[in-house]
Amino acid sequence: MKGKSCLRTGCFVFVLVPVIIAVLFFAFFRSSHDLPDRFVLRVPLGGSLEERIVESSPVPYLMQDESLSFQDLLFMFNQAAGDKRIDTVLLEIGGVRTSPAKITELRQAIEKVRAGGRKVIAYLHSAEDSDYLLASACDSVVVERGGYLLLDGLKAESLYYTTPLGRIGVTFQAAQWKEYKSGVEPYTRTAASPEYIEQINALLDDVYADYIGYVSKRRGISRDSLESVINNVALVPAAKAVKLGLADGVATIWELKRSIARRISGKEPEENDRLFVQADRYRETLDWPVKASGSEAVAVITLSGPIVRSVGSSAMSVDEGTDVGMLRRSLDAALADKEVKALVLRIDSPGGDALASSDMLQMLDSAAVKKPLVVSMSGIAASGGYMAALAGREVYAMPLTVTGSIGVYALKPDISELARKAGLGRDVVTRGRFADANTVFKPLEGEAYEKFISASGDIYLDFIGKVAASRKMSVAAVDSVAGGRVWTGRQAKQKGLVDHAGGLFAAVRAAQRLAGMDKSKQPRILLYPEQKSWFQMLLEGNPEGIVGSLERMAMRRVLHEVAPQSPYSAMLRMHEMLMRSGEVEMLAAMPCEIIIR
């Protein structure tokens, strides 16, 4: 067997080494060609705009198919704003499905590019509200010939599984702290509670007001006219969009490119015209992520996705989130680097495992004693995500960041009726009065149920105590804004839960100030968790890591094609709990996602 293993390794190396040499030659050949003195930067914008993609493609030639992450876009636009070689930025927008705060921060990045003297054109494929809201930040909006605008407003949708699950014999017991912590409702109710409706309406009011106000101002039309389009027209053909003042032109992408090329160079664009530079190619030529003017650094540590105890332990491990070990490794690396003078914790997380969130806060508090730590909230920093933010000396949030949700809930599945219907027999021998209490085959009763409720209540009290200590508020004051209530960043600032309105770069400047760094110099920015490329994995002798990376990439792409914006995340969590054979889940997590479409 050992001989076969060595033979396989030898074959692997024999096949891969020529590929590596070819790829390195290809990369060198590409990098040796500088960008032209004047060009158009083409940037595709679509999908969920993940905060940061830590795992790069394990196959070099597939990298060009990878979407730019949200942070990629922010850093790229930041540099493009001062790049005099760029004449025009062409944003090809279609299918943007992300949080309101991310759209707002991206709008600000686009405005900075325009302020730097670059012309920014939005090219819209058949677009929805999110696409159009983003496009309205540009100098001009061009709609694809034959396309349309679907401007039908905003909605929030929730699914309730209590009845269909009950029909097959699956029920849930829940502990909810408190009434606004509505994550349990899909399993315990058949419709939304008044508390859930109240906070969803408040969130939609804020987002809708921003949408109508920003677009009407940028396009020079009245708010009433825009609302009339949404309420009476909704589906707007391209030519009509121009008539209504919603767009500036209609063209195919080839017609638009030809028009831009004529304006810049006075001639028709050719098939391999270097005038148009793709975003990934442009990024390769930059000092990434910023062009620093000093050796001192700020570490930006991203906490993205669900907070879990350990990545890979989940039955649904495609969206792995951030675990305690990943955060610890990032903090250790940043603290060990003597040139890192300050830390920025960038949070884009709905929370998750309550105890893992508490562990993360403890680690972050310890790190903040050694180096100044500033928090930057992205699209969402709620529940366990908000708990992590308590370590920040200063906390920044976008006006439409979804935050708060300070609360805890616990779910206990019961499949006793399903087992009875299926004729499943069960015999248990125990030692200890509660040894079989948490099984999925029966509900919690009596003292076991009381302990279930009490345990989640203890975690809630600990949570609001942590908030009170960090935010210098009384426990009663925290409780009045907690109980699971969800706030926008603007509201959270008024409630004392965050300190400042601002995005990632505002937080970096604050970290620089708190660390006493030279304000006149641009610090280096180091991104954590560190991204491992396919080549690093090869050098580490880790072909299995490449295979695993390929599998996860393939699965993500399949899921994206099948359900690019899944409304079933709550059902996936329920499935995970069932796979854990009845383990009680103590969650500090958002009950829903708010996404503009």
Q: From the centroid of its chain, how far is CA 206?
A: 20
Spatial strand order in the sheet of 307-308: 171-177, 408-414, 585-589, 351-353, 307-308, 322-323
How far apart are alpha carbons 374 and 512 in whole angstroms?
A: 10
Q: Could you tell me if 65 and 94 are in contact, meaning their C-beta atoms sit under 8 angstroms apart?
A: no
Q: What is the dihedral of CA 13, 14, 18, 24, to 10 degrees?
A: 10
**Torsion angle in degrees (nearest 10) through CA of 477, 396, 348, 340:** -120
Identify the bridge partners of residue 184 per DSSP, sorted by sequence position.
none
383 noted as active-site residue: yes
Report the length, in residues, of the chain.
597
Contacts of 144 (CB under 8 A, 6+ apart): 123, 124, 125, 126, 238, 250, 251, 252, 253
3-state helix, strand, coil in the chain (%, to 5): 45, 20, 35
Q: How far apart are CA 380 and CA 397, in angstroms?
A: 9
The residue from 56, 57, 136, 181 that is catalytic is: 181
Is there a catalytic annotation at residue 495? Answer: no
| 329, 335 contact by CB (below 8 A) | no
Are the C-beta atoms of residues 54 and 330 closer than 8 Å to each other?
no
**Cα–Cα distance, 296 to 290 (Å, whole number):** 13
Measure the CA–CA gap between 561 and 563, rounded to whole angstroms.
6
Structure tokens at 558: 């399949």
Residue in 70, 161, 245 with CA at minimum distance from that of residue 567:
161
- Give me the sign of the Cα torsion angle 26, 28, 34, 35: positive
- Spatial contact of 306 and 350, defined as CB atoms under 8 Å apart: yes
Q: Is 530 exposed, middle or buried (0-12, 13-18, 19+ CB in 10 A)?
A: exposed
Q: At 195, give phi and psi (nearest 5°).
A: -65, -40
Radius of gyration of the chain (CA): 26
Burial class, 569, CB count within 10 angstroms (exposed 0-12 / middle 13-18 / buried 19+): middle
Instruction: Please report, for residues 64, 73, 266, 425, the alpha-carbon distance to residue 579 in angstroms, rounded to integers and kept in the order given.
Output: 37, 38, 64, 19
d(CA 448, CA 430): 15
Q: Which element (helix H / strand E) includes 196?
A: helix 194-219
Phi, psi of 177 (to 5 degrees): -125, 100
Distance separating alpha carbons of residues 407 and 454, to the nearest angstrom: 14
**Under a CB-based contact definition with an 8 Å cutoff, are residues 43 and 73 in contact?**
yes
Q: Is the dihedral of CA 570, 56, 292, 327 positive or negative?
A: positive
For the record, the structure tokens of 591 come out as 């009950």
- Cα-based distances in Å from 308 to 330, 384, 418: 16, 10, 29
| Active-site residue (options: 182, 376, 383, 549) | 383
Known catalytic residues?
181, 383
